[in-house]
Amino acid sequence: MSVSADRYSVPAVQRAIDILNILSAGPQTFTQIQRRMMIPKSSAFAILTTLHKRGLVERDAEDRYALGMALFSFGCSVMSRFDYRSASLPFMEEIVQKTRETCHLGILHNWQVLYVEKVESPLSIKLASRIGLSLPAHSTGLGKALLSTFTDEQLDAILGCLELARRTDHTITTARELMEDLRLTRLRGFAVDNVENEAGVRCAAAPIRDYSGKAVAALSISGPDTRVTLDRIPELGQLVKETCERISLRLGYQAARPDQSR
């Protein structure tokens, strides 16, 4: 007999997590937090005081609450488990040196792309992306690169649960169009975000595989569409594809050869 997980949920812990999620968007005053949580002031104060004592939240000079450095320590501990991150960083720096555009590393988390590393372009126009940012998979180069590694049957099930929200005038918002785009991505070996997620930003991305062949992350080359033009996409796409293949080899991946299929 199955037992509902809700039976073992602790309301105070759930509320603490909800408060941390609120603060992930930026510092908030006590009143803002309490109103968003819709809980008694005494409860909000007790939770925030406990989080503050443990270093999970801090108070700034304007008496606002913000995420604390203890969370950074936890995050670093989690990130240290991701071998692909340390394996990718030198290659990302190499890409930025060659292209002078920004390079991102991302993973799929709850069918969103989570940015886990970024090497910034040295040029004056910067992108608003940051480590820890989550964006929809269907509208990003990183997301489409990772989605392309699933079979059509798996994608049918996945896309049935996803809301393909419009981010720009160029966002793909139907499952049929996205499936066609993902098939093209498989054929050429890299995905293209053609100003689909953020106005004025274009990118090319490819998946990174581990020793088992599973796509564990993706790498992208991104920049303003005035620099990353459509004419430049084939060159950048080939570069990110070849770079991801090199990283995959570093992680132990071996692409199947004709004589290995027997």
Q: How far is the C-alpha of 49 from the C-alpha of 202, rounded, in Å?
A: 44
pLDDT confidence of residue 2:
40
Joined tokens for residue 217: 């992350």
Q: How far is the C-alpha of 112 from the C-alpha of 259, rounded, in Å?
A: 37
pLDDT confidence of residue 257:
43
User: Low-confidence residues of the chain, pLDDT below 50?
Assistant: 1-3, 257-262
Q: How far is CA 127 from CA 132, 201, 224, 236, in A?
A: 14, 8, 8, 17
pLDDT confidence of residue 258:
40
pLDDT confidence of residue 78:
65
Query: What confidence tens digit (pLDDT) does each residue in 79-99 have?
Result: 555 578 888 999 999 999 999
Q: How far is the C-alpha of 209 from the C-alpha of 203, rounded, in Å?
A: 20
pLDDT confidence of residue 190:
98
pLDDT confidence of residue 251:
86
Contact at 8 Å (CB) between 16 and 50?
yes
User: In whole angstroms, what separates CA 231 from the centre of its chain?
Assistant: 26
Which residue shows structure tokens 């996945």? Answer: 158
Q: Smallest Cα–Cα separation from 111: which of 157, 173, 75? A: 157
Q: How far is the C-alpha of 70 from the C-alpha of 157, rounded, in Å?
A: 38
Query: Pseudo-torsion of CA 50, 54, 55, 57, nearest 10°?
Result: -20
Q: Smallest Cα–Cα separation from 207: which of 110, 141, 112? A: 141
Question: Mind giving me the DSSP string for the chain?
Answer: ----GGGG--HHHHHHHHHHHHHTTS-B-HHHHHHHHT--HHHHHHHHHHHHHTTSEEE-TTS-EEE-HHHHHHHHHHHTT-HHHHHHHHHHHHHHHHH-SEEEEEEEETTEEEEEEEE--SSSS-----TT-EEEGGGSHHHHHHHTTS-HHHHHHHHTT------STT---SHHHHHHHHHHHHHHTSEEEES-SSTTEEEEEEEEE-TTS-EEEEEEEEEETTTS-TTTHHHHHHHHHHHHHHHHHHTT--PPPGGG--
pLDDT confidence of residue 79:
58
Domains of the chain: 10-73 (1.10.10.10), 80-250 (3.30.450.40)
